[in-house]
Structure formats: structure tokens, C-alpha cells
Structure 1
Amino acid sequence: MIFLLFFFFMAAFLFWNIRKISPNVYGSLIAGILLIATLGSFLLREQAWACAGQAFFIVWASQAILLYLLWNIFLLLKKGFAVLRHSQPQSNGKAVLLGSRIILGASLCIAAAMLVFGSQNNLHYKIQELHLHNQKKTFTALFFSDIHLDPLFKKEKLEKFIAQADSIQPDFIFFGGDLADISDSAMDAAGYDSLFRRLTSAAKTGAFAVVGNHEAFMERSGSRPVQWMQKVGMTVLNDETVCTPLACITGRTDFQMARAKDVPRKNLAEMHPTDTSLPWILLDHQPRGIEENYSGALPDLALSGHTHHGQFFPATTIIHWIWEHAYGIKKLDGVLWLVSSGLDSWGPPVRIGSDTEFWVINAHSSTSADSI
């Protein structure tokens, strides 16, 4: 609800500013067309042309909102200084008209440039490494999150990722949620089922996953993302813990999925592993930390995604105001918490100020040769 209110407020803000590019009805007409095109592209996500339109309009809207916000602040300050000087504020109708036109043109040009350069950065992901020493067991895990399959996703990117997973031969593959923004049937038609079977088969011990907020959205639209992930070889953990010979893995139900199903998330105490001789890995799509009323032993490592590290400017700056831990590795509620920016992007396949990535986690026991 809060997101929808914010969305409509931003749409109204854009309309109010863009209509000023013309003193007659044409300004309102242009503003209306731009906003209708933006909203319409969300309704046809599985069409490549609509997906491309949505990508452009999201990037454009983010830049236009920022520029118009700065412009309005400037006009208010100018008016305020005139009042402080006890002078009559001058009519700035022509300045508003010219400024509105310049900002509209500039935001469209900036959006086009961001799509060109940001899409290249989105395509080329980074491989990040985390070494954990003095662990109870030695293992290698591959962690990725937020792949967001859609008509604009480049299949060769996934094929390259699978080839690298094959060469790494990890003990575990961990997926942090937000698999796709298209239906199960569309994924099968595109051949993603066979590709993901190849990926999960690269894990020597197992591939484990949790759902994200976009799985909740897709279930609402009639898809069955959990069953699809299970079909391709992932063990989907829904507020439950599984122990293997190398580690215990707890997967938490996403907050959005819990709300959609009208069920409370279990307390972490209910999922504490009974075998304390093994490392404990926690998967939770959103990095919100550990609940305040939990007082038991803490996981050795927590893995999350969701934030995309802001994806592109200005969200790359704002994201750190929204989340206590928006990206990278640090202690959160006493737990070593890794937040990935994701293997791909939601909406616009654009990365500016952030990167796409996956993580290779190497756990070394105190008795293993490489930890000495």
C-alpha cells in the first residue's frame, strides 16, 4: 500500500511539472501520454517491446523526478529570498516554461545515455569471493540472487554463469530469491528449465533456495514459482532447516510471501539446527536482520539479496538511507551478513553505481591445510 501511494504521488508530481512545458492543453496532453505509456508498460511485462518501454520510462522517470525536485526547490528558495528582502516576487512564468522544457529534454537524454552505458555494465557481472576461516567444516558455496528473468534478459549471461559454476564445482549452490518476472510457461518456452537443471546439477551436495518478494507477486498472477524451482532441482526452504554432512541451511519465508499467504513468519528459534557440530547458514531474501525477541545461538553466516545495491543513480545513494545493511559484508544483529547486489536487474537492465555479481564462498575448517 505504501509503495502504491508513493508511486501515485510521484506520478502526480511528474504530471504537475511536465504539463508546464506548454501554457495550453498540450502540456497536459504530453504529460498524460508519458505517464500512460509508463503505466501501460507495466501491464504487458511479458512482451519484449513493452518490457523495453518500461525500462526506458523507469529510468527516465527517476531522472525527471530528481531534476524537477531540484528545480522546484530552486524556485521556492528564489521566492523565499525575495520575501526576506521585502521585495515583490517577480513573475517567473517564462522561466518556469523554459526550465520545464529543458528538464524534460535533459531527463530524456540522460535516460537514453544511461540505458546505453548501464546495459553494458549490467551484462558483465563480477565474481566476488568470501573466505571464512576457522569454520567447523570445509566447503565451497556459490551464492546468487535477484536474477529477474524477463524478455530483456540475455540468455548468454546465464549460460556463462552455468559454465563457471560447472568449473567451480561447488558443494552448495544458494539462491536468494527473485527468480523471474515472467510466467512459468514463458520460462519453459524460453528453455530456462533445462538451463537451471544444468546449474543445480553443478552442486555436489545440493542447491538450496528461498523465495523473494517477486515470487509472491508471480504467485498472485497465477504462476507457481516454488514448484518451478523444485522442478529444476532446487530445494526451496520455507521457514525450515535442512542439515547436510557439511552444513545446516535455514531458509526463511519472505515477508511479502508471508503477507500474501496471511501467515506469520516462524521465529528463528523454531528453526535452530539440532546438530550444533555443523556450520549454520541462513538464507533470507531481505536483509532485515534477526528478530528482537531471539536470544539463541546465531547463524555463522546469513545471505540476502533484494536491495540490488540501488541498481542505478539516484537509488544507489538513497538505498543506504533505507537499509541498515544495503550491500556487501558486515555484522548485522551480531551475524556476519552478506548482501548481494544480484546477478541481474529488475525492470531496466541498467547498472550505474552498482554491479551485477555472484559470490563464491570458501569455508575453511581449523584443521584444513589451506587454513593453516
Structure 2
Amino acid sequence: MGVVIGVLVGAGVLALLAGLLWYVWRRTVRDTTRPRSRARRAGTAVFFTGPVLAFAALGAERGGAPFLLQQILAWPGFLWLAFALYLLVGLLVGEAVRPLLGRWLARRERPSDASEERVPARPAFEDEARRADEAGRGAQPQQAGTGGRDVTRRLFVSRAVAATAATAAAATVGHGTYGVLRGPRIKRVTVPLAKLPRAAHGFRIAVVSDIHLGPVLGEGFARRVVDTINSTQPDLIAVVGDLVDGSVADLAPAARPLAHLRARHGAYFVTGNHEYFSGAEQWVDHVRSLGLRPLENARTELPYFDLAGVNDVQGEDEGEGPDFVKALGDRDRTRASVLMAHQPVVIHDAVEHGVDLQLSGHTHGGQLWPNNFVADLANPTLAGLERYGDTQLYVTRGAGAWGPPVRVGAPSDITVVELASLRA
């Protein structure tokens, strides 16, 4: 029964995507060109190349294709996904503008004096659209007339709306890509902990998540992340999952800068769901060789508080999921505790085990607006600091990006969490 439901859901999703793709093609290609014209054929060919590249990029990454092929496909394929999203948004907004623009143009065509019988001059936009269309299909000029003007007006409106939507989508994606490649910015937040001793007041934890080293973000990006973290001079570094999208064999050079992370109390790591897509056991061993200390359902007693870490829930499929009893079951609850857990959804387990502060990532803050609304429904906290009973949860938006190397409405960050003692 579960398989049947899965198939039906998958078929429904594909049907929805196909419908949206057809709508975007119609508004950007069919409605802006003449039937059987060279422009329509060329536009259709270019338009449907994008989805092919996108699915190929996703398949190559998840299927373990040669890394060079993944890199070749990733940039055009993933960027097309982001561009198509914002082109769709722009076209939907254009549906409201389209009738208004059409009526405005129609009013401009009317004679200023109703008693005049002369034919009004053809607006310049009609001549330009008509000449471009005739040149594109090798047709003879149309005879003037009301029907011809209506057709030309609709063509002009369609082209204007499509061009504006495409320009806005390209600008949005370009700005969002620049924001990712520039590297994350530093965010600071103060978190008071009732059990924290006075001597630990001001203890700084640099929290970084979702770096997503892979076919797009490589060694140079990792170096920017490391330099940004080190510039904060943290007391401790917490890498809370989704470090990579790929195997150790492919991404070991990209991860090399992590060996230069510096903090007085060291750097710690827990797995995210993408580590389990990429070979979690190998990555745990590799980050250990780089000087990070993995916390696999484990705890370490620091001078001022307990630091614990649990595996990501994706590990349950491999029998390596989160084990809160193993990580926290026998600890001294009079001491303050900080838990590293990739996904915010485990906050209720953290509350049950008396955790004072949980540090998480995973959500990317939504990464691409309006996906933040979906991500907010799927997670107890989308980004920032919230309280659940006696436990506080902080969720970083992450340093990198998955899929499209683009962020819109959810800028990347590395957060310095400064612990505050109520006894200070």
C-alpha cells in the first residue's frame, strides 16, 4: 500500500511540474512568437534544454557519476532551476499586469476626436513588433486593420511581460548567486543559560552548518568559510552537519582548509542528512584526520558545560540514527548542556533529556523565497533562537547552499553564539 501511495504522489508531483513547465513555455515562447516561426522553434529548443540539464545534474550528483561530469552539469542545471522558479513568479505577477497594459495600449490607439474619420497613426510599438515578427518568419507585411492591430497588441503585451519577467528573474538569481559565492556573513546572538557558571560568561561558540562542499562549492569556498570562522576568535567551533555533497575521494581537496580551523576548546562535528547520502562513515573518519572531533551520539565534558552531539535522523536508515540516551542519559543534570544536532525536529527529544541549548541547521532559512514558507511548516524553527520549555533552540541558516548556488531572502551566516551566565 505504501508503495502505491508513493507512486501516486510521485506521479502527482511530476504532473504538477509538467503543468508549470508548460505554462512558463506558453507565456515565454508560444505567446511571444508566431506559429511555425524559426523564433518559436529555437525558443522551444532552448527552453526544454534547461529541465534536461537540471535533472541530469541531480541524477549525476546522487548517482555518483564522475566528478568532472557533475561539475559540468551542476552550474547550468542548478542555475536553471532557480531561474525557472523566479521566471514563474514573474509571469504569475504579469498575469495581473497583462490586461491593464492591454487596455492602456488600446486607449492610446483611439482617435482624440471621435468625429474624425481618418485612420489613426499606427503606434511605434506596433511597427516594431510587426517588423520583428515578419523578419522572423519571412512573411509579407500584414494589411492594416482592427484585427491586425489586436493581434499585434497582444503580441507586444506578451513580449513585454515575458521580457520583464525574464530580466527580473535573471537579476534575482544573479544577486542570489553572488551572495552565496561571496561567503557567509557573521551573525552574533547572546544566549543566557541558567546553569552556566560565572567563569563561562561570554564563552563564544562559532556555529556553522550546511557548507555543502560539492560540484559547485569547492576548496576556495571552504577557505572563505574557515577564514570567517577564525576571524571571530571563538572558544569552540560547532560544525552541525551537511558539510559535503559527495564522496571523500572527490571532495577531500575541497575539505582540506578545515584543517586550519582554530579554537581554544577545539572544533566538533556531527553528521547531517547529506553525509548519509555521501558516505557518513568515511566522512567521520576524514574530518577526524583534519583535526575535528566527531560526536557520534557522544558527549564531552568541557570545563564549564557538557557538549553533546547526536547523529542525524537520516542515519536511522543505516541503523546509525540519533541516540539521546547514549549521548545524554547518564550526565549530571546540574551542569549546563549544549547539544549539536543537525535537524531542528529533534528538539522535543532534547527537551525530554534536559538540554539547555540545541544548535542546529538544515533549514537554510528556506534558501529560496518563497520556499521559506514550506521549510517553516516542516521545521519547528526556521531560523534564529526560540525557546521550548526549559530548552532553547538556535537554528543557523547555514554557510552554503544545496542545489542552486543561490539564496534569496535567506542570506547565509556563521553565527557566534555567546553564552551568558545568569550569575554574572
Question: 2-side partners of 1:186 and 1:348: how far apart?
Answer: 20
Select 2:187's aligned residue among 119, 128, 145. Answer: 128
Shift in Å at residue 175 of structure 1?
A: 0.8
Question: 1-side partners of 2:187 and 2:227: how far apart?
Answer: 16
Q: How does 1:103-252 map to 2 (within 5 A)?
A: 108-122=166-180, 123-133=182-192, 134-137=194-197, 138=200, 139-153=203-217, 155-190=219-254, 192-193=255-256, 195-199=257-261, 202-219=262-279, 224-252=282-310
1:354 aligns with 2:410: yes
Max Rg structure: 2
Aligned with 1:342: secondary structure?
A: coil
Does 1 or 2 have the higher relative contact order (CA < 8 Å, sep 6+)?
1
Question: 2-side partners of 1:149 and 1:171: how far apart?
Answer: 25
Shift in Å at residue 52 of structure 1?
A: 1.0
Pick closer, same or farther for the CA change 1:262–1:274 going to 2, 3 Å.
Answer: closer
Shift in Å at residue 228 of structure 1?
A: 1.9
CA contact (8 A) 2:90 2:166 kept: no
| Residue identity in the other structure for 2:361 | G
Question: 2-side partners of 1:145 and 1:177: how far apart?
Answer: 6
Pick closer, same or farther for the CA change 1:116–1:32 going to 2, 3 Å.
Answer: closer
Question: 2-side partners of 1:349 and 1:31: how far apart?
Answer: 21
Which position in structure 2 is the counterpart of 1:38? 54
Which position in structure 2 is the counterpart of 1:80? none
In the superposition, the TM-score normalised over structure 2's length comes to: 0.69
| Residue identity in the other structure for 1:354 | A
Q: Structure 1: which 5+ residue stretches go unaligned?
A: 76-92
Shift in Å at residue 239 of structure 1?
A: 2.5
Q: Structure 2: which 5+ residue stretches go unaligned?
A: 1-5, 62-66, 99-150
Select 1:319's aligned residue among 375, 379, 399. Answer: 375
Question: 1-side partners of 2:405 and 2:46: how far apart?
Answer: 26
- Percent identity, aligned pairs only, is 23
CA contact (8 A) 1:209 1:235 kept: yes
1:285 aligns with 2:342: yes
Pick closer, same or farther for the CA change 1:100–1:273 going to 2, 3 Å.
Answer: farther
Greater Cα shift, 59-68 or 167-176: 59-68
Shift in Å at residue 42 of structure 1?
A: 2.1
Size of the aligned set, in residue pairs, is: 344
Shift in Å at residue 249 of structure 1?
A: 1.9
Aligned with 2:175: secondary structure?
A: helix
| Residue identity in the other structure for 1:241 | R
Aligned with 2:304: secondary structure?
A: coil
| Residue identity in the other structure for 2:83 | W
Question: 2-side partners of 1:73 and 1:268: how far apart?
Answer: 56
Greater Cα shift, 264-273 or 241-250: 264-273
Shift in Å at residue 153 of structure 1?
A: 2.3
Which position in structure 1 is the counterpart of 2:399? 343
Pick closer, same or farther for the CA change 1:44–1:263 going to 2, 3 Å.
Answer: closer
Question: 1-side partners of 2:422 and 2:167: how far apart?
Answer: 55
Shift in Å at residue 321 of structure 1?
A: 3.5
Shift in Å at residue 348 of structure 1?
A: 2.2
Aligned with 2:178: secondary structure?
A: helix
CA contact (8 A) 2:298 2:326 kept: no
| Residue identity in the other structure for 2:288 | Q
Which position in structure 2 is the counterpart of 1:332? 388
Higher helix share: 2
Shift in Å at residue 318 of structure 1?
A: 3.9
Shift in Å at residue 4 of structure 1?
A: 5.8
